[in-house]
Amino acid sequence: MKITILPADDGEEEIIIKCNALTREMLKALEQFRGGINQLALYKGNEIRLMDVSEIYYFESVDNVVFAYCKDEVYETKSRLYELEEKLSMTSFMRSSKSMIINLNKIESLSPIINGRFQALLKNKEKVMISRQYVGKLKEKLGL
């Protein structure tokens, strides 16, 4: 890959990427340039979309593939769940079970269910489970 660095004549710095396809490494580098956490590259079929993380309700890992669930749509991510957990640790996302990372800003309410687990009712009326194991971390994150 050829890297060309030119002076910014008009004062505004700009990165232009010329490529045949956006690779995972390129997207990672882009995320770092963007400050890391505001947007994520999500995939749906052949379509790649840079999505604001604030629009994502939760991430779930199913058979080693991580999906991002938005209000009505589901996208695939190329990141592993632990990578997302690390990247999003300073945001409103937190691990809610072994296979899930949830956006606290998208939870409408929490209620207890059978066997000491909790259920989160999301703002899109979807229900997801929170393991007892992560309730302590949730309390910490909420400052309780």
Partner 1 sequence: MFKKKLALYFEVYKRVTTCVVFAVAVYTAVFWGVGVSFSPWIFWQVILIAAITSLGSVFLSDEGNISKRRAWAESIAYFAYVNVSVMVLGYFFGWYYFNWPMVISMEVIISAIYVTVSFLSYCSDCRTADKLNEGLKKYQRDHEK
Q: Does 132 bind partner 1 (CB under 8 A)?
A: yes
**Under DSSP, is residue 129 helix (H, G, I), strand (E, B) or coil?**
strand
Stretch that binds partner 1, among 5-13, 32-40, 69-77, 126-134 (CB under 8 A): 126-134
Residue (49 or 131) nearer to partner 1, CB: 131
Candidates 109, 122, 124, 125; binder of partner 1 (CB under 8 A) is 109
Q: Does 105 bind partner 1 (CB under 8 A)?
A: yes
Which residues make Cβ contacts (< 8 Å) with residue 12, sequence separation at least 6? none
Site for partner 1 in 30-89 (CB under 8 A): 60
- Residue 70: CB atoms within 10 Å: 18
**Under DSSP, is residue 77 helix (H, G, I), strand (E, B) or coil?**
strand
